[in-house]
């Protein structure tokens, strides 16, 4: 086989479909978030404002977090030097797991190198623990959940997004005695809509199923202590396994699950994605623990972020831009074409110093390509004005549709 020609072909296909991904090289400026410097391909630099990051609360540059990381580096050095089982468990990992278990009101927590790995490793391990397990997975679940369910060798059923009646039909069609698990998210990050947690917990009770929720886009952001939508809606006790990330609102890196002691013990002992990989650097665990701890009491920051999202949505709606609004902190503006989305993103960056990455297939279905804005408490009024004016100008310039897609 001509391997090189095959690679050319695969890459060309992405160009032809307008979804070849170009990574924008940016330098975040410590203490100056959301401002950054764009290292342009021609070697020059341009100041930009980041509008598409998932450091939703600006915690990635919070002194509380950075101090904890500096102290841990001074105390222990850089890497952990081992897997959790072989010399890679430290007081920092233990403290972070305790913070997380407490955050969700669960007995235990288990750290992974990312939430992607936490989802994949846990969901692919559960059928080993519950032979014959059937997993019911929401159609719009994140790639990491899909991958975990796909690889686990057990049975899977995909229910239409947020459609509890369809879920019921699928549950009814299966053996009542088979072990079952329902996997879904609390906030679907591309549309910003919420999962029907209570209805899913009710149906899980009815059919004797376990529940697994991905709260990646909600932890730190919702609930009086940042425990996510399950905390906000007082449902955490009804969900068997809660998954979250330390890389978005908490501004660091890493992922986790929280559950009973027994569940965490079993996953810890059977999941290759937990066992056979080096644990997080202690400094990362220290920073994440400081961030989780801090956000348990910093409600102001959560309120400011929600306020910013509301203002941005109102202003964009006022201009008739096609935003999706489900009342969460995520602000997607629909474009519906990969080439146009990329062109808009390029113009925003080049002409206005506004960095928003185009979102296209396979992250979202074809025909729903979009720009996804993530306002934070530190995007000031000036930045907001610049963004709104730039979008207004570009929408007119490109003669784009201004009809609103109500959520
Ligand atoms: C819903 C969802 N789950 C899991 C992940 C993975 O999180 P992490 O970046 O910690 O691997 C993401 C990342 O974007 C996500 O959107």
Q: How does DSSP assign 311-354, residue by residue?
A: HHHHHHHHTT--B--SSSS-EEEE---HHHHHHHHHHHHHHH-E
CA distance 298 to 57: 10
Closest ligand 1 atom to 54 CA: 14
Report how far ligand 1's centroid is from the alpha carbon of 214 (Å): 9
Task: Could you please state the CATH topology (level 3) that the domain comprising 23-56+299-405 is classified under.
Answer: 3.90.1150
* Ligand 1 center–CA 148 separation, angstroms: 13
State the pLDDT at residue 403.
63
Question: Of 248, 296, 313, 317, which residue is the catalytic one?
Answer: 248
Q: What is the mean pLDDT of the chain?
A: 95
Is 248 catalytic? The answer is yes
What residue spans define the domains of the chain? Answer: 23-56+299-405, 63-296
Spans in the chain with pLDDT lower than 50:
404-407
Q: How high is the pLDDT of residue 407?
A: 45
**Dihedral angle computed from the Cα positions of residues 294, 103, 189 and 373, in that order, rounded to the nearest 10 degrees:** -10
* Helical (H) or strand (E) element with 46: strand 45-50
Instruction: Tell me if domain 23-56+299-405 and domain 63-296 are identical in fold.
Output: no
CB-defined site of ligand 1, < 6 Å: 114-116, 119, 142, 144, 185, 189, 214, 216-217, 245, 247, 255
CA of 216 to the centre of ligand 1 (A): 6
- Spatial contact of 336 and 369, defined as CB atoms under 8 Å apart: yes
Which region holds residue 78: left if phi is over 0, alpha if psi is between -120 and 50, else beta?
Answer: alpha
Task: Supply the CATH classification number for the domain 63-296.
Answer: 3.40.640.10
Pick the residue whose CA is nearest to atom 13 on ligand 1: 116
């Amino acid at each position: 086989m001509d391997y090189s020609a095959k690679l050319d072909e695969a890459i060309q296909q992405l160009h032809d479909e307008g979804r070849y991904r170009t990574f924008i090289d940016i330098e975040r400026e410590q203490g100056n978030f959301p401002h950054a410097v764009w290292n342009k391909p021609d070697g020059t630099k341009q100041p930009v404002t980041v509008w598409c990051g998932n450091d939703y609360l600006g915690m990635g540059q919070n002194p509380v977090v950075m101090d904890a990381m500096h102290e841990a580096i001074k105390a222990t050095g850089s890497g952990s030097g081992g897997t959790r089982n072989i010399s890679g468990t430290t007081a920092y990992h233990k403290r972070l797991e305790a913070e997380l278990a407490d955050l969700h009101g669960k007995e235990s927590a288990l750290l992974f190198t990312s939430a992607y790995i936490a989802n994949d490793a846990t969901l692919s391990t559960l059928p080993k623990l519950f032979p014959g397990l059937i997993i019911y997975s929401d159609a719009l679940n994140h790639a990491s959940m899909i991958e975990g369910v796909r690889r686990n060798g057990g049975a899977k059923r995909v229910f239409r997004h947020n459609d509890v009646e369809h879920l019921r039909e699928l549950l009814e069609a299966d053996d009542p005695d088979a072990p079952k698990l329902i996997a879904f998210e609390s906030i679907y990050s591309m549309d910003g809509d919420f999962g029907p947690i209570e209805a899913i917990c009710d149906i899980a009770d009815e059919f004797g199923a376990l529940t697994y929720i991905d709260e990646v886009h909600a932890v730190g952001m919702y609930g009086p202590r940042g425990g996510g939508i399950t905390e906000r809606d007082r449902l955490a006790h009804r969900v068997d396994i809660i998954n979250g990330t330390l890389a978005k609102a908490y501004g660091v890196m890493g992922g986790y699950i929280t559950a009973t002691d027994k569940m965490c013990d079993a996953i810890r002992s059977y999941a290759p994605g937990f066992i056979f990989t080096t644990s997080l650097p202690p400094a990362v665990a220290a920073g994440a623990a400081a961030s989780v701890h801090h956000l348990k009491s910093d409600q102001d920051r959560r309120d400011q972020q929600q306020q910013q999202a509301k203002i941005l949505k109102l202003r964009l709606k006022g201009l008739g831009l096609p935003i999706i609004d489900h009342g969460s902190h995520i602000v997607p503006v629909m474009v519906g074409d990969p080439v146009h989305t990329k062109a808009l993103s390029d113009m925003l960056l080049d002409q206005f110093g506004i960095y928003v990455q185009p979102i296209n297939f396979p992250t979202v279905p074809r025909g729903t390509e979009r720009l996804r804005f993530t306002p934070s408490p530190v995007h000031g009024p000036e930045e907001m004005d610049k963004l709104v004016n730039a979008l207004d100008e570009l929408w007119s310039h490109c003669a784009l549709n201004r009809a609103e897609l109500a959520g």
